[in-house]
Structure formats: C-alpha cells, structure tokens
C-alpha cells in the first residue's frame, strides 16, 4: 500500500492511500481520516460512499465530515466509486463505467473483469483497513450520497450484523424502476431483473429491512428527485414498520452544500449507534 498524502486535520490525520486491488484488478485509491483517539487504540469506522462522477476526493474535501468525526472519535473512509485506468472499460456517458460503478459485482462484458465494487467495498477494503490502521471492525456504520446512498442502503440490508446504523443523502431509492438504475443494472448484471433485487433499497426493504436505525435526508428541490424516488422507499419502510427517520429538507438540492449542511446530524446519528453497548 502506497501513502499518497497525509495531512493533519482536526487533531487527526487525513490520508490518501493507493493499493493494488485483487477485486477490481487495478490500482484503487481511498481517503481515510483517523481521529487523534487512534493513539489510544482502535476506533469505530464510518463508510462514506460517493455518487456518480465522484472519486475518493469529492466528499473528502467537500462534505465537511472530518470535523464532526474528530469530535466523535470516529474514523471515516472515502473509497473510490469505480475501478479506473487505461485498461478498465468505460463509457462516454457520465452515468456508466468509470465513476459509476453502482457498487455491484458486474457479471456482463466488458465490465466483469474490473467492476467488482461490491466485493471491493464489503470484503477487500475492510480487511486492508483492519490490517493497516487502528480501526475496530466490530463497530462499523455506513452512509453515502446519491449512487453512494444506494450502495450504503443495499449493503446494510444485505449484510445483517455488519453495520450498526445506515444513513443516506439523496439516495437512489428504487433503481430498478428508475433511469438511474435500469440502464446500469442491465449493463452490469444483465437483463434478468431477479438479479437486480438485492441492489434495490426499496425491494430490499420490502424483503428484509435493516436490523438497526436508518436516517435518510433528501432535498425538496433536488433536481434529480424523479430519478431518486424517495417515496418508494418511504412506502416500503412504512409498510414494514421499519425503524427509520426519512426527511425531506425544504429548499435543498443534490449538491455538496446539501450534504455538508446535514453531515453533523448524520455523524452524530452514527456515533450514537457506534458507541452504544
């Protein structure tokens, strides 16, 4: 693992690291903020999954998460959104290919050889973090924005017991019924829609729900609201009587101004779960 950079921030260290990934068959880069409490032993971990077109860097520099994580003594990791490199398949559209991995394991060509983002996030990267940093993998929570909110919700519901809490900012809630989903799931997983269900938060909520608290914020003036379909997740959550707080925030759009505004709420929400028991 190569250290790309390390900067002191809020009493801790914001690092950027690169490593050869066996899941994606290419080099992957991630950001990791460690609070000063790591000097005393392993700290809880919050995952932040970013949205379409983003790298590890967008949330790391725009979301304002480090200050609140430092206050709570929590590490936060910012993985990349897809494999990258000259040999990695791509598409001219912004919402497919590099920058748009959708947090699935692709089974279709030309994507399958590299686009194994589910395994990278849920299997490979946690092991790497546990081996190299003072992180307590028994205390993990997950959040994300847009495509990353989709990934956070589906991973939390597919992996019971892994995450103590899940939250999302403007998540893609029902991708199998949205143009932000049907295109990508068809490309990566094929036309058999039964293989899509575990990657649809609304369908997963109907099927199994989540064994912990959920917080979701979406802006009422989000320019992509019809693609996100928050009402579908809300209906499934109510029908299941799932423990959740689903909020529509008046006047907010899809930008990092929205994310940074409510980041303190989300970090505090996760801190309560991570330090409980």
Where in the sequence numbering do the catalytic residues fall? 146, 222, 254
Are 258 and 252 within 8 A, CB to CB? yes
Are 6 and 30 within 8 A, CB to CB? no
* Cα–Cα dist 105/25, whole Å: 13
For tokens 């991630």, the residue is 30
Beta-bridged to residue 105, according to DSSP, are 116
The secondary structure element, H or E, covering residue 215 is: strand 214-219
* Cα–Cα dist 80/52, whole Å: 10
C-beta atoms surrounding 55 within 10 Å? 19
* Cα–Cα dist 143/97, whole Å: 22
Q: In what order do the strands lie in the sheet with 2-9?
A: 2-9, 12-21, 26-34, 75-79, 43-49, 135-144, 166-169, 214-219, 245-249
């Amino acid at each position: 693992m190569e250290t790309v950079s390390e900067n002191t921030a809020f009493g801790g260290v914001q690092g950027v690291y690169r490593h050869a990934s066996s899941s994606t068959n290419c080099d992957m880069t991630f950001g990791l903020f460690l609070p000063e409490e790591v000097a005393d032993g392993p700290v809880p971990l919050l995952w932040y999954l970013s949205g379409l077109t983003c790298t590890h860097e967008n949330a790391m520099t725009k979301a304002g998460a480090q200050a609140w994580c430092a206050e709570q003594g929590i590490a936060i990791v910012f993985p990349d959104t897809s494999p990258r490199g000259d040999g990695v398949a791509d598409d001219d559209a912004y919402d497919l290919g590099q920058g748009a991995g959708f947090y699935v394991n692709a089974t279709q060509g030309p994507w399958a050889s590299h686009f194994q983002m589910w395994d990278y996030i849920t299997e490979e990267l946690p092991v790497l973090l546990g081996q190299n940093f003072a992180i307590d993998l028994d205390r993990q929570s997950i959040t994300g924005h847009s495509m990353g909110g989709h990934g956070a919700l589906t991973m939390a519901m597919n992996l019971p017991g892994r995450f103590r809490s899940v939250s999302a900012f403007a998540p893609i809630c029902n991708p199998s019924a949205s143009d932000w989903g049907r295109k990508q799931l068809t490309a990566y997983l094929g036309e058999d829609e039964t293989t899509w269900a575990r990657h649809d938060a609304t369908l997963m909520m109907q099927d199994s729900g989540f064994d912990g608290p959920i917080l979701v914020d979406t802006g009422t003036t989000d320019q992509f609201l019809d693609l996100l379909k928050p009402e579908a997740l809300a209906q499934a959550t109510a029908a299941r009587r799932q423990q959740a707080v689903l909020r529509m925030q008046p006047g907010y759009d899809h930008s990092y101004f929205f994310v940074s505004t409510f980041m303190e709420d989300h970090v505090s929400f996760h801190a309560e779960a991570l330090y409980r028991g």
